[in-house]
Amino acid sequence: MLYDYVTGPIALISLVIFFVGITARVVLYIRGLDWRLDRVTYTVNVKYGIKGALRSLFFWMMPYGTRSWRVKPIVTFFVFALHIGVLFTPIFLSAHNIILKEKFNFSFFTIPDALADILTIIVIVSAVVLLIRRLVLPEVRNITDFKDYMMIAITIAPFLTGFLAYHQAGDSQFWTIVHIISGEIMLVAIPFTKLSHFVMFFCTRVQIGMDYGIKRGGMKKGYSGQNW
């Protein structure tokens, strides 16, 4: 049966590619830092480096925590709404955790299906708004290519098909299988595309935070780094 196939070997292959691929991206990023040029004094003033890294992560993960987020408040709202929905919905969805329990004998706590519906709608609406922004604003459209549109489609697909499958729109079995396949495509795509930023964001923010924390004013009294 196709359902058993996409939830069995294909799902396992997708997870292996995802975990191996994203681990390789992190390792290659760290190895790619030019330690000889001492871009950041990684082994000197470690305390200031750690403080700078944590400060950078804190302010950039907080809505409107940095000047860059505050400059375009509406865009910031939809960016955070999209990412919160994308991260929390798949992990804490009850249906997904039932599968985790059956396949791997563990699960996370779950959120109510009604909340999952709301988050799904938020993801779809936020993605559409950001897509329209890319199409309408010349300064964004000029730096957008086909791969960027594909990333948006890959991101939306699991949520849209999952919503249709859950609410039994048409052939629910069809939408369930398409939902699973689109989720697996997303997992495989993450290590090889800009979607990897959900992990690489932390690598770059830690590095930049250490850089600011040690070399660019972080050791000065009263420095906050909120305008990064």
Question: DSSP letters along 183-216, please?
Answer: HHHHHHHGGGSGGGHHHHHHHHHHHHHHHHHHTS
Note the pLDDT of residue 3: 77
Average pLDDT, the chain: 86
**Quick one: tokens of 9?**
């070997």
More confident residue, 216 or 135: 135
Report the CATH number at residue 91: 1.20.950
pLDDT of amino acid 9: 86
- Give 113 or 104, the one with higher predicted confidence: 113
Averaging pLDDT over each range in 50-59, 173-182, 205-214, which range is the top one? 173-182
Let me know if residue 71 belongs to a domain. Answer: yes
Residues 176 and 97: their CA atoms lie apart, in Å, by 16
Q: For the ranges 44-48, 109-113, 115-119, 150-154, which has the lowest average pLDDT?
A: 44-48
Task: Give me the helix-helix angle, 9-32 and 197-214, nearest 10°.
Answer: 20
Confidence (pLDDT) at 160: 94
Checking if the pLDDT of 225 tops 70, the result is: no
Comparing CA positions, the residue from 46, 40, 43, 68 lying closest to residue 204 is 40
- If you average pLDDT over residues 211-228, what whole number do you get? 60
In one-letter notation, the amino acid at residue 219 is M
Domain span at residue 64 reads 2-214
Whole-number pLDDT of residue 156:
94
pLDDT at 88: 92
For residue 227, being part of any structural domain is answered with no
Q: Flag whether 221 is in a domain.
A: no
pLDDT on residue 43:
67
Inter-residue contact 18 to 188 (CB < 8 Å): yes
Which amino acid appears at position 151 of this protein? M
pLDDT score for 84: 93
Residue 226 falls inside a structural domain: no
Residue 138 pLDDT exceeds 70: yes
Predicted confidence at residue 187, as pLDDT, reads 94
Instruction: Give the total number of structural domains in the chain.
Output: 1
Q: Which residues pair with 111 in a beta bridge?
A: 93
> What is the C-alpha separation between 19 and 25, in angstroms, rounded?
10
Q: Which amino acid is at 128?
A: V
